[in-house]
Amino acid sequence: MKALQIKGYGNIERNLNFNEIEKPTISDDQVLIEVYAAGINPIDYKIIEGAMKQLSKLTFPAPIGFDVSGVVIEKGIKVNHLEVGDEVYSRVPSDSPGTFAEFIAVVANVVSLKPANLDFNEASSLPLVGLTTIQSFDKANLKFGDKILIHAGSGGIGTFAIQYAKSKGAYVYTTTSTKNVSWVKELGADRVIDYKTENYLDIVKDIDIVYDTLGGNYTLEAFDVIKKGGKVVSLNGEVDKETAKELKLNGIIRFILSLKRRKITKRIKDKSAYYKLILMQPNGKQLADITKLAEAKLIRPVIDKKFLFSESIEALQYQKSGRVKGKITIKMK
């Protein structure tokens, strides 16, 4: 079968190859999926460039891609909730990527039936952004009537998060650029802040939750806009104690990280706040919840561009450009 593989760290174009490799075989708890579409996420090009190698070094040539939709063509004897011929989608585990390929073997408990009202490309755009948002909002205990700030409302995470927060009955602030204001409003945000002409710090006050998708100074500023006892869930902020334990980091690294987050630690204390860096985990049951939301038309995918499999390298370059509105996908079939 044909697969896109990483041959080394560095430049996207120079370090990817299309190779012929053996079709995967499955274990008793896996399914073999014929890939119809794959979603692209920033993590994909960051891995190529070596941004993650301190956490997990690759053995080259290495597979690439985490979001997938397709059809089950084989199932292991321990798999009960899926059948051959099912149309499915998944965010595959971090230790077994490879969705930019014609077939992939996936442990069945992270696979769900895809939404019946979405095509394969639309479905492949949802797993990572959807699971990340659901798990973030669960940590923040988002509930009806909460006020939440979602940064970067036009991005892949933002477009899903706005819709999901509204489905929970929250009041949503979001930030975006001038050219995206009108269509981000259409996603349901209550107050869209044009960061080109407005300062969100002048507008957002005493809210319950900040969904920090950007990191850096935005993480620190989150504590300026939450109320006493508010919550900050971050995708790009400093590593907190709870997350350090999840990563099983040793004592020396934990101490270094505690020094790096001193400013955040002070702000947490000053606001009696909750702070968590989110590490998304694949979850088939939560994907099934996303399926229900999509079929109820409470969530709709936002796709900027669809690329052919042969255009995967160009697709990754476009993802890195920062111009993406919503998600981009790779069409295999």
State what percent of residues in the chain have pLDDT above 90: 89
In a domain? residue 295: no
Question: Are residues 176 and 109 both part of a single domain?
Answer: no
* pLDDT, average across residues 231-245: 90
Question: Are residues 9 and 145 both part of a single domain?
Answer: no
Number of Cβ within 10 Å of residue 76's Cβ equals 16
* pLDDT, average across residues 274-284: 96
Q: What is the pLDDT of residue 257?
A: 83
Question: Are residues 54 and 136 both part of a single domain?
Answer: no
Alpha carbons within 13 A on the beta-carbon side of 209: 26
Q: What is the pLDDT of residue 244?
A: 84
For residue 240, name the pLDDT band (cuts at 50, 70, 90): confident
Helix, strand, coil share of the chain (percent; to 5): 35, 25, 40
For residue 61, name the pLDDT band (cuts at 50, 70, 90): very high
In a domain? residue 172: yes
The residue count for the chain? 333
Torsion sign across C-alpha atoms 264, 276, 68, 167: negative
**H helix and E strand count, the chain:** 12, 16
Number of Cβ within 10 Å of residue 282's Cβ equals 21
| Tens digit of each residue's pLDDT (9 = 90 or more) over 280-333 | 999 999 999 999 999 999 999 999 999 999 999 999 999 999 889 999 999 998
CATH number at residue 99: 3.90.180.10
* pLDDT, average across residues 248-257: 84
Question: Are residues 27 and 156 both part of a single domain?
Answer: no
Residue 234 has pLDDT above 70, yes or no: yes
Question: Are residues 133 and 269 both part of a single domain?
Answer: yes
Which residues lie closer than 8 Å to 248 by C-beta, 6 or more apart?
none
Q: What does the block give as tokens for 5?
A: 């593989």
Residue 55 has pLDDT above 70, yes or no: no
Number of Cβ within 10 Å of residue 229's Cβ equals 10
Q: What does the block give as tokens for 130?
A: 């959807």
Between 232 and 247, residue with greater pLDDT: 232
Q: What is the pLDDT of residue 51?
A: 84
In a domain? residue 221: yes
* pLDDT, average across residues 59-79: 97
Q: Is the whole model's pTM more than 0.85, yes or no?
A: yes
What is the count of structural domains for the chain? 2
In a domain? residue 74: yes
In a domain? residue 289: no
Question: Are residues 206 and 218 both part of a single domain?
Answer: yes
Q: What is the pLDDT of residue 49?
A: 95
Amino acid at 110: V
Question: Are residues 11 and 121 both part of a single domain?
Answer: yes
In a domain? residue 141: yes
Question: Are residues 76 and 182 both part of a single domain?
Answer: no
Average pLDDT in the chain: 95
Question: Are residues 143 and 222 both part of a single domain?
Answer: yes
Residue 205's domain spans which residues? 128-277
* pLDDT, average across residues 178-191: 96
| Tens digit of each residue's pLDDT (9 = 90 or more) over 136-158 | 999 999 999 999 999 999 999 99
CATH number at residue 140: 3.40.50.720
Question: Are residues 108 and 206 both part of a single domain?
Answer: no
